[in-house]
Structure 1
Amino acid sequence: MDTVTEPEPLFDLEPATAAGPDFAELARLPLRELMAPDWADALAGVEAELRSVLSFVAGEEAAGRRVLPPASNVLRAFRQPLNGVRVLIVGQDPYPTPGHAVGLAFSVDAGTRPIPRSLANIYRELESDLGLPPRIHGDLGAWADQGVLLLNRVLSVREGGAGSHRGKGWETITTAAVAAVAGRRTADGKAAPLVAVLWGKDAESVRPLLGSTPVLASAHPSPLSASRGFFGSRPFSRANTLLEQQGADPVDWELPAVPARQLPPRSLG
């Protein structure tokens, strides 16, 4: 049987600080150079909107405003195949602190110290739920590698300006992404195994897109709200139970003590 080789992505996933294409270049590139092929197919219907929001972000950059995460990671959530997604975790927008945002909701660069307080609370609940020790790093890439889609509703932010890129077009893209994840079907026409984990009101806004997908909803892990229903919600063990009930393998939520070496993105050319 002939093997079809997909084109390699333009850049690897890591690290957030490496040089790579800028946002103006991203806005001109074919979708299949920006994300996994099945994601490119799924998001083709909002390609014009994606190019528009990337052009907006390019304008921010051209005006001397620092945008986070860098262009090389802004679409990182779509680099793992859509077909492999088992768990959807929805965040708000990227961390506005330089060096923190890496293109995956709640995750930070492996060298970031201290880790953000929301992520520290996620680790606290992970230990309470599954007995897994917290890590000193905040790299959640190992979850993404297993089909956990860590998707922010808004995929970029101005440095120091939390929420500064809301209402600029990203919501259209991520709405299409959530609908694509929830709309997948197996060969026999059944819904593909999926569990949605919704923390906080922003995440809850996608619930109408999820159809019959099992949903685990609670307060956001932020220090402002974690004590109002996030702690004790046991999302990790409950997600695995729901996956197994759908005939899917559970997620190994234990993160490596030391993240895998991060490789710089390949350059354009």
Structure 2
Amino acid sequence: MFGEEALFDVGQGEREPEAFAQLTTLPLDELLAPDWAKALEPVEAELRQALRFVAREAGDGAKVLPSASNLLRAFRRPLADVKVLIVGQDPYPTPGHAVGLSFAVSPQTRPIPRSLVNIYRELQDDLGLPPRVHGDLSAWSDQGVLLLNRVLSVAAGKAGSHRGKGWEKITTAAVSAVASRQDNRGVRSPLVAILWGKDADSVRPLLGETPILASAHPSPLSASRGFFGSRPFSQANALLREQGADGVNWELPAI
């Protein structure tokens, strides 16, 4: 199994083009958690096409973000564990920022992106939790918060440059898979979707009966138009408990 530790070991520095090329040849169940591999099998051809595109870009000398080790990171935690879906746009185009989870950055990144600063501000206003100086959101991911960008790669310094290259088909299938899960009794699995901004709202038709918390995007350009005061974190926990699930501990470690 090409597991999490192995993923973080490949694709560093000059070996990055090699690492992207390696992703194109590995079986699905070595790229993704087993239940994600099964769920995304119907779009495997599209995934392979997107991976080949990224590998070609890297092979031609482009700096592709995030690194190969983090490209499919959102799918390394089991699909079965997902209980909150937060949809982003595409990865941060600043080198060193993108880590494969929407809105998150590496623990060492300073200062953190302004969208994340606004998320922390709303988290404090909503739940009284202190803002962090880091942008590591893996503690949320570990609890079943799927931090999924609509597009999974970008060229450094060129925001939105990998839109329309095939990723949207994969993430559409991923959102549909999350929303359609059922337990052994045929009961829909607990799920809340948090949709920030127009791009995120585009997945609404895929969510069926999933409770949706929608607002403006937390970017500095739009946060004051409905993101601030939307209280997504407390509302998500309330909706999870209504479905018989535990809420998320949204407090991040101070590191």
Shorter-chain TM-score category?
over 0.9
Structure 1 residue 11: deviation in Å?
A: 3.8
Map of 1:47 onto structure 2 = 44
Map of 1:76 onto structure 2 = 73
Map of 2:109 onto structure 1 = 112
Matches within 5 A, 1:50-199: 50-199=47-196
Hey, which of these two has a bigger chunk of helix by percent?
A: 2
Map of 2:24 onto structure 1 = 27
Q: Residues 143, 226 of structure 1: CA spacing in aligned structure 2 closer, same or farther, 3 A cutoff? A: same
Structure 1 residue 99: deviation in Å?
A: 0.3
Q: Residues 253, 171 of structure 1: CA spacing in aligned structure 2 closer, same or farther, 3 A cutoff? A: same
> Among the aligned pairs, what percent are the same residue?
71
Secondary structure in 2 aligned to 1:216? strand
Residue 250 of structure 2 aligns with an amino acid whose one-letter code is W
- Structure 1, gaps ≥5 residues long: 1-6, 259-269
Name the structure, 1 or 2, with higher relative contact order (CA <8 Å, separation 6+): 1
Please say if residues 16 and 99 of structure 1, whose CA atoms lie closer than 8 Å, have aligned partners that are also in contact. Answer: no
Q: Residues 28, 15 of structure 1: CA spacing in aligned structure 2 closer, same or farther, 3 A cutoff? A: closer
Question: RMSD of the TM alignment (CA)?
Answer: 1.5
Q: Residues 10, 124 of structure 1: CA spacing in aligned structure 2 closer, same or farther, 3 A cutoff? A: closer
Q: Residues 224, 70 of structure 1: CA spacing in aligned structure 2 closer, same or farther, 3 A cutoff? A: same
Q: Deviations over 1:204-245 (max 9, x none)?
A: 000000000000000000000000000000000000000000
Q: Residues 228, 53 of structure 1: CA spacing in aligned structure 2 closer, same or farther, 3 A cutoff? A: same
Q: 2:229 & 2:4 partners in 1: Cα distance? A: 41
Structure 1 residue 17: deviation in Å?
A: 8.0
Q: 1:250 & 1:13 partners in 2: Cα distance? A: 29
TM-score computed with the length of structure 2 as normaliser: 0.96
Residue 138 of structure 1 aligns with an amino acid whose one-letter code is G
TM-score computed with the length of structure 1 as normaliser: 0.91
Map of 2:245 onto structure 1 = 248
Q: Residues 107, 172 of structure 1: CA spacing in aligned structure 2 closer, same or farther, 3 A cutoff? A: same
- Structure 2, gaps ≥5 residues long: none
Secondary structure in 2 aligned to 1:250? coil
